Every structure is written in structure tokens, then in C-alpha cells.
């Protein structure tokens, strides 16, 4: 198979972690007999520096013409970077929002899995870490508060800001269908998260999700208010399989879920549209404070590449080989600095970004 990938290295540690993911992909394609080609484009802060805006038409077209997009990270230090002195629509993150909208990437999949080898890095009680957890947060990505109309203006003598939260029935239905389809391939459980005791948008969300579940009688559905879900994630994460939720709630909950795995540097993500096309990126940010120091954890980006093989190319064995290589590296005791927070950290082998990539490449094998 020929894989045509548009690559967006981005800002901060983005180019470093993308380089390691490409090394792993090259090894997988070599072993399994696939041909892979990359086209690198700019987006985010580096695009602002080069073109004066975070997302160009050329980048959008390059993404559309590819089979999938693999991205590093975008943005910088919000306190010191000149990018954040610009108007909001010209800042780095506006590029990502614009690309998601342009490509109709409405479904964001963020798995959160606690590797047994990383139990010591989990901040939860020991009995919770021993139980482990394996969940997937299905976040609606192109609607809701982040895409509604907004304004800041003076009203009755004081500055007033307005953000509009809008959801259409069709937007809710299509993300709910994705959630139930994914749940069928996992443990057949969906927990839909909303704020139906307060918000009209959440009451519509719950109504539509209930309608969709009629087509999936084999999948268990329950509802949970977002504040309770935030508590349950740290109280008993093992109860979750597929978590279905709207844009802003998903943004917050997925970051919380990532941290209880021990490090946000371990969490991949996929953003999909109605076809097999997707954008794949790590869940973490650009970490500008460690950029260029060869200490970033590339595993989230490598696992994002595995998700790309699985969801955009239907190459399950190839994806499995990457995931197994990650497990082997962790079993062998190798850790990047973000995974060395446990008291017995001295028993592990500290490695940098490039060495972690090399170790993963060494362990890629045909399954």
C-alpha cells in the first residue's frame, strides 16, 4: 500500500517528536512492504512567522490532498510569545481550529490507557492504579462553545464578553454514531457526559443520544453530568469505556484523563471526518520550555501514528506492532524524564527523545 502523509511538525517540541514518529513509521512500512511519502507544511506559530497567519490555503490544500495528516504540536508560551499579542483569530491555536473546520474533523478520539509498567507514575491511590483503566474519550470537535459567535464590547458602561454555545441535532447525531460504533469494537459501553440539569444544549444532546442508542441495542448507555464525571475519573477510572461528550467538556476531561496515566506525553489522539481521513496528533502541547533539549517524550506522537495506520489505512497489524514496541520499551525499563516521577525512579534507564525513538525502532517486528 502507498501512504501519502501530510506532516505538520509545528512549534516547540513538535519537530523533535515528529522526527521520531517518522522513524518508526519508516521501519513499519519497510517491514510490511508499504511505500510511504511525506509532505511537510507549516501551521501555527511557525506559519505566523513565515506568512503572517497561522493557517494558509496551501496548508489546507496539502492536508486535503493527503490520505492522512500527522501533526506534532503548535503554539508557544502564552505569557511571553509575541504570537499571543495578536488578535485571537491570528494566534497559533486558531490555525488548528481552522484546519479542523476546513477538513470537517468532527470526531476526536483520545484513548487513555494505564500501562502496567507505569503504575508507579499514576497519581491515584495504589489500589486504583493496580486495577488499571482503558478508556476512550469521544469528543465532538467542530461545534459548541469554541465555534459559536463571540464578542467583547461595552454594554451599559462596562465591558461585556459573550461566547455562544450552539449545537445542531445533526452534529450531535453523527458524533453519537461514531461513539457507539467504536464501543462495539471495545467493551460495548458508552457514558454520555453533559450538563443537562442546566444547559438547553445538553438537554438536546441527551435526547439525540437516546435516539441513536436504539440502533445499538448491544451497547450499554448511561448518562453522567460533567462535574460528576470529573470526580469519577479520579475516583474510579476503571468504570469508563467510551466517554461521549461535547467540545469544551471533552477538552477538559481528556486532559484530566491523560494525567492519571502518569504523563500526558503518553496520550495520542485522532480527529476524524465521515471518511477514513484523519488528523493525528499527541494530546500534549508544544512545551516550548524544553524544545530543542532532546528530553521530550515522543511516545504520544508515535502512538498517534499507530492510530493513523489503524483508522485511516485499516492496517491493524502494523498498528499493533507499534503498540507492542511501546510496551516492550517500557517493560525494559526505559523512561523519558516525564515518566521518572516515582520514588524508585533510580531503577529505570533515563533516555532522551531521539534515543527513545531508536529504542522503539529496534523493537518493531512483524506480528
- CATH number of the domain encompassing residue 272: 3.40.718.10
Q: Is the residue at 80 inside a domain?
A: yes
Catalytic residues: 146, 195, 227, 251, 255
Listed residues 260, 288, 310: the one ending a domain: 260
- Residue 346 has a pLDDT of 66
DSSP strand pairing (2-10 vs 35-40) = parallel
Q: Is the residue at 117 inside a domain?
A: no
Q: Is the residue at 335 inside a domain?
A: yes
Residues 49 and 68 grouped into a single domain: yes
Task: Dihedral sign for Cα 297, 301, 304, 306, please.
Answer: negative
Q: What's the domain count of the chain?
A: 2
- Residue 342 has a pLDDT of 52
Residues 79 and 2 grouped into a single domain: yes
Residues 224 and 127 grouped into a single domain: yes
User: Which residues in the chain land under pLDDT 70?
Assistant: 341-346
- Residue 262 has a pLDDT of 76
Q: Is the residue at 145 inside a domain?
A: yes
d(CA 160, CA 192): 32
Q: Is the residue at 219 inside a domain?
A: yes
Residues 245 and 273 grouped into a single domain: no
Q: Is the residue at 364 inside a domain?
A: yes
Residues 103 and 148 grouped into a single domain: no
Listed residues 215, 244, 260: the one ending a domain: 260
d(CA 305, CA 25): 7
CA distances, 125 to each of 130, 131, 264, 331 (Å)? 9, 10, 18, 22
Q: Is the residue at 290 inside a domain?
A: yes
Q: Is the residue at 118 inside a domain?
A: no
- Residue 121 has a pLDDT of 78
- Residue 258 has a pLDDT of 82
d(CA 53, CA 58): 12
Residues 137 and 72 grouped into a single domain: no
Residues 130 and 92 grouped into a single domain: no
Residues 67 and 146 grouped into a single domain: no
- Domain span at residue 195 reads 123-260
d(CA 300, CA 308): 12
Listed residues 260, 292, 324: the one ending a domain: 260
Residues 294 and 312 grouped into a single domain: yes
Place of cell 517528536: 17
Residues 93 and 129 grouped into a single domain: no
Residues 154 and 191 grouped into a single domain: yes
Q: Which has the closest alpha carbon to 241: 252, 225, 257?
A: 257
- Residue 276 has a pLDDT of 86
- Residue 341 has a pLDDT of 64
Residues 93 and 136 grouped into a single domain: no
Place of cell 467504536: 182
Amino acid at each position: 500500500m502507498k501512504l501519502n502523509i501530510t506532516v505538520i511538525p509545528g512549534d516547540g517540541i513538535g519537530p523533535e517528536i515528529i522526527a521520531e514518529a517518522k522513524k518508526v513509521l519508516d521501519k513499519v512500512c519497510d517491514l510490511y512492504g508499504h511505500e510511504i511519502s511525506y509532505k511537510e507544511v507549516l501551521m501555527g506559530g511557525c506559519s505566523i512567522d513565515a506568512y503572517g497567519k497561522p493557517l494558509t490555503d496551501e496548508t489546507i490544500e496539502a492536508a486535503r490532498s493527503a490520505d492522512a495528516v500527522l501533526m506534532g504540536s503548535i503554539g508557544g508560551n502564552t505569557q511571553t510569545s509575541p504570537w499571543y499579542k495578536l488578535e485571537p483569530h491570528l494566534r497559533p491555536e486558531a490555525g488548528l481550529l481552522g484546519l479542523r473546520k476546513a477538513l470537517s474533523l468532527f470526531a476526536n478520539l483520545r484513548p487513555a490507557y494505564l500501562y502496567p509498567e507505569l503504575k508507579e507514575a499514576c497519581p491515584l491511590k495504589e489500589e486504583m492504579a493496580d486495577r488499571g483503566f482503558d478508556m476512550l474519550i469521544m469528543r465532538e470537535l467542530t461545534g459548541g462553545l469554541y465555534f459559536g459567535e463571540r464578542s467583547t464590547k461595552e454594554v451599559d458602561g462596562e465591558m461585556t464578553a459573550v461566547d455562544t454555545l450552539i449545537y445542531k441535532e445533526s452534529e450531535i447525531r453523527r458524533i453519537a454514531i461514531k461513539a457507539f460504533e467504536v464501543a462495539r469494537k471495545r467493551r460495548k459501553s458508552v457514558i454520555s457526559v453533559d450538563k443537562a440539569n442546566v444547559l438547553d444544549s445538553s438537554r438536546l444532546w441527551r435526547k439525540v443520544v437516546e435516539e441513536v442508542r436504539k440502533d445499538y441495542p448491544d451497547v450499554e448507555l448511561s448518562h453522567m453530568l460533567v462535574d460528576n464525571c470529573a470526580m469519577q475519573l479520579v475516583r474510579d477510572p476503571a468504570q469508563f469505556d467510551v466517554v461521549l461528550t461535547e467540545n469544551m467538556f471533552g477538552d477538559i476531561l481528556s486532559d484530566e484523563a491523560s494525567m492519571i496515566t502518569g504523563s500526558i506525553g503518553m496520550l495520542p489522539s485522532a480527529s476524524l471526518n465521515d471518511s477514513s481521513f484523519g488528523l493525528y496528533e499527541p494530546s500534549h502541547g508544544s512545551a516550548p520550555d524544553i524544545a530543542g533539549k532532546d528530553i521530550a517524550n515522543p511516545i504520544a506522537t508515535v502512538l498517534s501514528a499507530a492510530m493513523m495506520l489503524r483508522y485511516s489505512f485499516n492496517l491493524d497489524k502494523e498498528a499493533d506492532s507499534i503498540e507492542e514496541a511501546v510496551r516492550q520499551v517500557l517493560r525494559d525499563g526505559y523512561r523519558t524524564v516525564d515518566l521518572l516521577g516515582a520514588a524508585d525512579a533510580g531503577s529505570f534507564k533515563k533516555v532522551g527523545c531521539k534515543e527513545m525513538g531508536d529504542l522503539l525502532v529496534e523493537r518493531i517486528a512483524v506480528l
